[in-house]
Amino acid sequence: MAIETKFQDKTARVVLVDSSGPVRQLLSEVSKGIGFSNSQSVSSLADAHNLLETESVDWLIVPLNGTQDANGLQTVRMVINFAELKGVKVSLLVEDAEAWALSKAFEFGLLSFHMKPFTKDSLTKELEELMGIFAENDWDAARTSSEYLRKHLRETNQAADLLTLEKSLLELFPGNTKLLICLAEALHVNGQTDKAKATLKQVEFIDTGAAATIKEKRAALFGADAGGPDAAPVAGENILGLGVVVIIDGDDSVRSAVRAIFNELGVKDIFDFADGDAAFEWFRANPEPSLVIMEWRIPKVTGPLLLQRIRSKGAVNVPIILLSSLIKPMDMPIIREMGVANLAQKPMERDAFLKVIIWTVQQDRMPTEAQTMENKIRAYISNKKIGNAEELIARYLADVGIAPGRKAVMRAEQAFAKDQFEAARDFSIEAIRQSGESLFALNILGKSLMTLRQFEPALKCFQKAQGLSPTNLERLVMMAETQAEMVEPVKAVESINKAKDIDPNSTTTIEGEAKVALAGGSPEAAKEILGQLESMSNVISYLNNKAVAHAKCGFSEEGIKLYEKTLAAIPSAQRDILSIVNYNMALAKIRFGDFSGALPDLDAVISITESRVHKKAADLKARLEPAVITGKTFSLREVDAANAPEPAPTNKEEGQTADASTLVTVMLEQGPGDHCCYLLFKTTSADSPELTKALAVAPKFKARKSLERGETFAGADGTKTAS
C-alpha cells in the first residue's frame, strides 16, 4: 500500500518522540484522536532510530533536539540515505529559536513542522490542518511539504529560495493554477514585477475559470488596475518548463495558431515544419525535443512512417500529441505501439487544446494514468534505465484500477528487460489469457520465444500482431529474422520486401535486411548492407546482445556461431567494434569450456592496441594460458564482464554530464517529488554554527531481517504482523 494511501485511510504506523512522559501521552492522544490508531510513543530519538532498524514505520513526529548527536535533522537525513526507509515521512516539533534547521530539513525531505510549546487542542488543530492540506493536494507529499516550506521561506524573507522552489514545483506540476499564482507572488517579492504580471496573465490564458481569483490576486499585489487588459505586453515565464517544441503540419494556418499558443505559454524555442521529410531531417541533426505536435496526414514522409522513424532514431522519451481529424480506427494500433501521448481533434479549439497540452506535459513529468505509465516504462526500458522502470512498475502494479491483463504485460516486459526470458514468456501467456489478443503481449511473447529459439510459435505471435497493426516495420523485421532462422529464405525476403514497400529508406528496414542476411548465413551480403548505414553500432549491439541471450538460455553454440557471422559482416575499418565482438566471443567460448579456442580471439583483440578492451583481453589471456597448458579449471571474474558496442548516438547534447543531484537520484532511485521536497529544493543559506554541529555526526542505520520482511509489532501483547 502506498504511503499516501496510508495517510488517507489513517492506517499509517506513527511513532511519536519526546523525553517527557506527559508530552508523550499528549502526542499519543492527539495522534489517535485524529484517527491514527496505530500510534506508539518512545522517549528518545535514539530509541526511534533503533525502532526504524527493526520495524516498519510510516510517520515520525519528533523534536529537533539540535544540540544532541541524535537529533531530528539527522532523522530526516537518515530517511533519504537508506533505501529501507524510503517512504517514511517525518514531521518536526520545533521552538522559535530552532528555525535555523528548517531550510536544511526541507532540503533533506521534511514533511512538515509544528511549533512548540503546544496544547492538546492546538496540536490537534495543526495536525488536522496537515491532513486537510494533504487531501487538498490529492495526498501528494511534495505539494503538501512545499506549503510548509513556502510558509517558512516567506516568514524568514528568503525570497530567492522561494522563487527557486516555485519554479522547481512548476517543472514537476506544470500548468497547476495554484502553483502559478504562487510563482507570480514569488516573482513580485523578488522585484520582478513585470514578470509577475505576465505570469498572472498566462494563468488567465490557460485557466479561464480562474479570472476572479486572478483579479483578486492582482489587486492584492499591484493595485486594482495594474496588469489589466490594457497593460503593455511583457514576455512571460515559460510556465510549463518546456524546452524545444516541434510542430509538424502541412497547413500554414494551423502551424501559426499552434505556435501562437506556445508563445503565450512562454516557450522560446519552437520549430515548425510543413512536411515529414523536413521534420525528420531536423530530428536527425538535433537533440530530442520536449514536445512534438504533429498532423497524421502530412506531405512526403507521412504520420505513421514519421512516427516510427522518430522513435527508431532514439527519440523514445518525447511526448507526441497528434492534432488531426484524419485518424481512422485502423491507425490506432500503430499509434498505441509508438507510445503517442495524446490525441487532439481538428478544427482546433484553443481551450480544449490547451488542456490537452497541459495534461500531456503533467503526465510526462509525473505519470498517473495507466497508458502514460506504460509509455514511460517502455521508454525507460528502451533507454536501459531498468531501475527507473521498476520504480514506476511497482506504482503501476499497486494501482487497483488497472486490469490484471495489462499488469501481466508490464511484468512480462520487465522480465524480458532483465533477461528473464522464460518468465517473460509466462507473463505474456497470462496476459493473453486474461485480456485476449493484446498487441504488446503478442510482441513480448514473440520476442521471448524467439530468444528461446522456439521459432515457429514466435512467428505465429508476430504474424498475429502484424495482422492487428500492419504498418509496424520493426515487427516485420523480426518476422523476417525468425523466418531466416527457420531456413525459410524466400519468406524472409518477402517480409523484408513488405517493410521496404512501407518505408524503403527507414533505418529500421535497412538494419533489418542486414540482420536477416546474417541470420540466413550471408555475411558478405550483410556487410554490403551495413555499408549503407550512417552507423552500424545499433545492429552490432543487437547481435551481441542476442548472442549473450543465447548463452544465458543454454544455446552457447548458437551464440558463438552468431558471433562468427557478425565478425564476418563487420567492415575491416571498424576495428574497435571488431575487437569488442571478438572479446565477447572469447568470453562465450570460455563459458562453453573451449579455453584454447578463446585464445586466438583474445590475440585478435590484443593486436588492436587502440581498442577499449585491449587491457582486459591482455589480462584475461595472461590468466587463461596457464589453465590451457596445465588443464586446470578456469573461472571468469566479474571484471571480465562482456562489453557491448556503444549504441548509436541518441538525441542528447554532447558533453552533457550528470550533476550531483542526478547521481543521488540514480543511486537512490528517487527523483524530484518522490519524497516531499527532496531534490526539489536546495537552500542557499550559509550553514550556521548550530547546523554544522547538528550535522557533524552522520546518521547510523542497519536494517535488521525483520524490517526486510516488512514486519511490525503492534498491540499490548507485541503481536507480530506483516505491514
pLDDT, tens only, 606-665: 998 888 888 888 999 999 999 888 888 888 887 776 665 544 444 433 333 333 333 333
Please name which of 387, 338, 169, 679 lies closest in space to residue 181, comparing C-alpha atoms.
169
**In the prediction, which pLDDT does 374 show?**
95
- The reply to whether 674 falls in a domain is no
Q: What string of H, E and C letters represents the secondary structure of 142-180?
A: HHHHHHHHHHHHHHCCCHHHHHHHHHHHHHHCCCCHHHH
The 10 Å CB-count burial string (b at 16+, else e) for 214-236 is beebbeebbeeeebeeeeeeeeb
Average pLDDT over residues 225-232: 48
- The reply to whether 122 falls in a domain is yes
371: pLDDT confidence band, cut at 50, 70 and 90?
A: very high
CB-based contacts of 637-642 (< 8 A; 24+ apart in sequence): 640/587, 640/616, 642/544, 642/548, 642/583, 642/584, 642/587
One domain, residues 195 and 325: no
**In the prediction, which pLDDT does 657 show?**
32
Last residue of a domain, one of 366, 382, 405: 366
One domain, residues 196 and 277: no
Lowest mean pLDDT among 235-239, 242-246, 408-412, 494-498: 235-239
One domain, residues 197 and 255: no
278: pLDDT confidence band, cut at 50, 70 and 90?
A: very high
Give the DSSP H/E element, type plus range, for residue 344: strand 342-344
- The reply to whether 336 falls in a domain is yes
**In the prediction, which pLDDT does 662 show?**
33
| pLDDT greater than 60 at residue 399 | yes
One domain, residues 140 and 170: no
Contact 54, 706 (CB under 8 A): yes
Rounded Cα gap, residues 437 and 453, in angstroms: 23
One domain, residues 177 and 253: no
Burial class from Cβ neighbours inside 10 Å (0-12, 13-18, 19+) for residue 97 reads exposed
- The reply to whether 548 falls in a domain is no
Average pLDDT over residues 156-180: 93
One domain, residues 250 and 320: yes
**CA of 480: how far to CAs of 91, 269, 428, 450, 513, in Å?**
59, 41, 22, 12, 8
**In the prediction, which pLDDT does 182 show?**
95
- The reply to whether 581 falls in a domain is no
Lowest mean pLDDT among 270-284, 324-338, 356-370, 424-438: 424-438
Provide the CATH number for the domain around residue 335. 3.40.50.2300
One domain, residues 131 and 16: yes
Phi/psi of residue 506, each to 5°?
A: -70, 140
Last residue of a domain, one of 347, 366, 385: 366
Rounded Cα gap, residues 275 and 249, in angstroms: 7
Percent of the chain's residues with pLDDT above 90: 55
**CA of 149: how far to CAs of 98, 142, 165, 186, in Å?**
15, 10, 9, 13
511: pLDDT confidence band, cut at 50, 70 and 90?
A: confident
- The reply to whether 236 falls in a domain is no
**In the prediction, which pLDDT does 644 show?**
55
Query: Number of structural domains, the chain?
Result: 3
| pLDDT greater than 80 at residue 536 | no
Q: Which residue has the higher pLDDT, 557 or 477?
A: 477
Average pLDDT over residues 71-85: 88
One domain, residues 22 and 117: yes
Q: Which domain holds residue 249?
A: 244-366
**In the prediction, which pLDDT does 548 show?**
72
Average pLDDT, the chain: 86
Q: Which residue has the higher pLDDT, 418 or 573?
A: 418
pLDDT in tens, 306-317: 999 999 888 999
Q: What angle do CA 479, 483, 489 make, to 5 degrees?
A: 125
Percent of the chain's residues with pLDDT above 70: 90
**In the prediction, which pLDDT does 428 show?**
93
**In the prediction, which pLDDT does 234 show?**
53
Contacts of 689 (CB under 8 A, 6+ apart): none
**In the prediction, which pLDDT does 440 show?**
94
Per-range mean pLDDT, top range of 131-145, 201-215, 392-406, 540-554: 131-145
**In the prediction, which pLDDT does 167 show?**
92
- The reply to whether 30 falls in a domain is yes
Please name which of 634, 612, 610, 611 lies closest in space to residue 622, comparing C-alpha atoms.
634
**In the prediction, which pLDDT does 2 show?**
67
pLDDT in tens, 439-466: 999 999 999 999 898 999 999 999 999 9
**In the prediction, which pLDDT does 643 show?**
60
Average pLDDT over residues 106-117: 96
Rounded Cα gap, residues 63 and 116, in angstroms: 9
One domain, residues 138 and 167: no
One domain, residues 106 and 203: no
Rounded Cα gap, residues 14 and 34, in angstroms: 12
- The reply to whether 528 falls in a domain is no
| pLDDT greater than 60 at residue 722 | no
pLDDT in tens, 321-357: 999 999 999 999 999 999 999 999 999 899 999 999 9
364: pLDDT confidence band, cut at 50, 70 and 90?
A: very high
**In the prediction, which pLDDT does 538 show?**
72
HSE, CB side, 13 Å, CA atoms: give it for residue 622: 8
**In the prediction, which pLDDT does 609 show?**
86
One domain, residues 44 and 133: yes
Q: What angle do CA 169, 174, 180 make, to 5 degrees?
A: 70
One domain, residues 176 and 103: no
Last residue of a domain, one of 334, 366, 398: 366
Lowest mean pLDDT among 77-81, 175-179, 560-564, 702-706: 702-706
pLDDT in tens, 667-708: 335 678 888 999 889 999 888 999 999 988 877 788 776 565
| pLDDT greater than 90 at residue 539 | no
